[in-house]
């Protein structure tokens, strides 16, 4: 039975002080989540100012939500689609030439449902070069998406995805080899 009065995540440190987190919260809401500022270069500059490592040729569409950019690395020529949520409670590394389509969730955090205290669990995510995360797909904590792997629309990756395979379903299973 879950007893949320027992919940305690004092062990977790988000990697920045309260002032930086508050500044990022408002920056994220105004410049990223709201979609009022579609200028890509401004978003890249703001992410870098807050500690993200961003390559060249990165495209970030409107309405993207990023939790803690100081835990984020994005390689060259990567596209982040509308309404993507990158929940970087810990490190997220998105390599070169990756496409993350509309509404996808990149989740580094979850809760331990087997404990009544519902403890926080965080694990890093790697999305390797040439991978494609389909619209409304979910990449769960600790998952490594292999190079040129595809996670199809609405699928859920709860385990590592091998390179050059197409994955479908919940949980995602490989359905086809994707030759380079």
Out of 91, 111, 128, 148, pick the active-site residue.
111
111 included as an active-site residue? yes
Contact 144, 106 (CB under 8 A): no
| Pairing assessment for the beta strands 165-168 and 173-177 based on DSSP bridges | antiparallel
CA 177, CA 163: separation in Å to the nearest integer?
A: 9
Contact at 8 Å (CB) between 168 and 161? Answer: no
100: nearest Cα among 67, 128, 122: 128
Residue 71 main-chain phi, psi, to 5 deg: -100, 10
Q: 115 CB contacts (<8 Å, ≥6 apart)? A: none
Which two three-digit tokens encode residue 86?
């990158």
- Read off the tokens for 142: 């600790």
Alpha-carbon gap, residue 100 to 131, rounded angstroms: 8
15 preceded by a cis bond (ω within 30 of 0): no
> Which residues are known to be catalytic?
111
């Amino acid at each position: 039975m879950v007893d949320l009065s027992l919940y305690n995540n004092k062990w977790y440190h988000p990697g920045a002080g309260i002032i930086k987190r508050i500044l990022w919260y408002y920056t994220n809401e105004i410049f990223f989540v709201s979609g009022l500022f579609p200028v890509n270069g401004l978003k890249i500059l703001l992410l870098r100012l807050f500690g993200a490592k961003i390559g060249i040729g990165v495209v970030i569409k409107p309405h993207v939500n990023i939790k803690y950019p100081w835990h984020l690395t994005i390689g060259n020529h990567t596209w982040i689609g509308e309404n993507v949520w990158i929940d970087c409670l810990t490190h997220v590394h998105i390599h070169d030439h990756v496409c993350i389509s509309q509404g996808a969730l990149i989740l580094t955090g979850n809760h331990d449902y087997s404990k009544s205290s519902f403890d926080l669990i965080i694990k890093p995510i790697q999305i390797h070069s040439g991978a494609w995360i389909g619209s409304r797909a979910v990449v769960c904590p600790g998952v490594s998406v292999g190079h040129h792997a595809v996670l199809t629309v609405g699928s859920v990756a709860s385990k590592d995805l091998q390179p050059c395979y197409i994955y479908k379903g919940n949980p995602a299973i490989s359905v086809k080899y994707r030759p380079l």
